[in-house]
Amino acid sequence: MDDKDEVCPGCKLVLPVFYGSRHPYFGATASCWALFLQLLAREYSEPAYMTMHRTTVDAYAAQHPGSAEPRSIQSVNVHLVGLYLVLERRLQPDFVRSVIGGLTKQKSDLCWLPPAATLGSINVMDVLEAGSPADHENAVRAWGHSVWTAWATHRETIVALAAKALAGFG
């Protein structure tokens, strides 16, 4: 790393300094955020890459939690519930979107979850390097599992939150 590089506080990816826009509350450098936007562009422009979009968004958001402020608190809780429901419960992404949408109305149930020092060994760059839709799907799934595993100390909280959110769909 030289003085023209920076370390993303979320995923720890070292990238050249980029003086573009940053997400308002994710804990990501502008260069990392730009990579995520490239990844989203790929998924939205090529339907074969959209199969894991729910996990793409949840993994990135949970890997870049930001600081203990209301928007970040909501984001981390909601996206961790998304990872849990898709990866462990194997629920369909469209249904998961409805479930986590309901969580945004239950702000009193959400709390700051202190992140681990490392939030997964896979990052947005690893997914961007996937060469085919199948490789992309495998990379996103591995990324999601990596991030979800990094948050394991909060699993009980997230499972309880997911159960409460799912109860509204019973």
Q: Sign of torsion, CA 85 104 74 55?
A: positive
CA distance 6 to 15: 6
Which neighbouring-strand residues pair with 6? 15
pLDDT for the residue numbered 57: 98
24: how many CB neighbours lie within 10 A of its CB? 8
DSSP state of 14: E
Measured in whole angstroms, the distance separating CA 114 from the mean position of its chain's CA atoms is 15
CB 14 within 8 A of CB 5: yes
Which pLDDT score, from 0 to 100, does residue 170 have?
Answer: 62
Instruction: Report helix, strand or coil for 13.
Output: coil
Q: What is the pLDDT of residue 2?
A: 60
pTM: predicted TM-score of the whole model, two decimal places: 0.94
Q: Where are the domains of the chain?
A: 48-167
Residues with pLDDT less than 50, the chain? none
